[in-house]
Structure 1
């Protein structure tokens, strides 16, 4: 399960990616579930560092988790990933396996 080109490359950057992993070090990545109408739910992921290409992450997740998804611009939280259905456990394992963050940098919310 390898993902290539999930971050934007700036040819003039110093090449230091360690500050980008885990949302900047101190920040948490929040995985939430929202109730829609009836039994429908929506999973949101907030806090992934802006150096990573969220559209490519969503594209991979849609194919791997068999769901729909998009990147939404939130006025307070910035870019937020939205996936249909309850994908909390899938995205949690994915973020750990790929190395975006450690377990203590992930916060899993829900009912």
Structure 2
């Protein structure tokens, strides 16, 4: 995790984003974690295939994509598939996603 970016978020904000993600009932779950994070050792080809399968799950049927994307932007992960994007793809689009809130916007004042 890129601590410099994460430090810009309060711990409570990150926890709230995780709660939002969990409450959105993502298509991924702990039984499929290795599909989204990968094994310790894999070839580039194996990683591309695994990531394509994980992305397809996110893109086709995940009701939590927006929440997952917000959470991933707060975490700035170094690996894995988040909201249908690899960690590398997220780093590339980060400058385009400045509109994402740094905290929950659906709370009642």
Mark yes or no: TM-score above 0.5.
Answer: no
Higher RCO (C-alpha under 8 Å, 6+ residues apart): 2
**Structure whose residues are more often helix by fraction:** 2
Calculate the TM-score normalised by the size of structure 1: 0.28
Calculate the TM-score normalised by the size of structure 2: 0.29
**Structure whose residues are more often strand by fraction:** 1
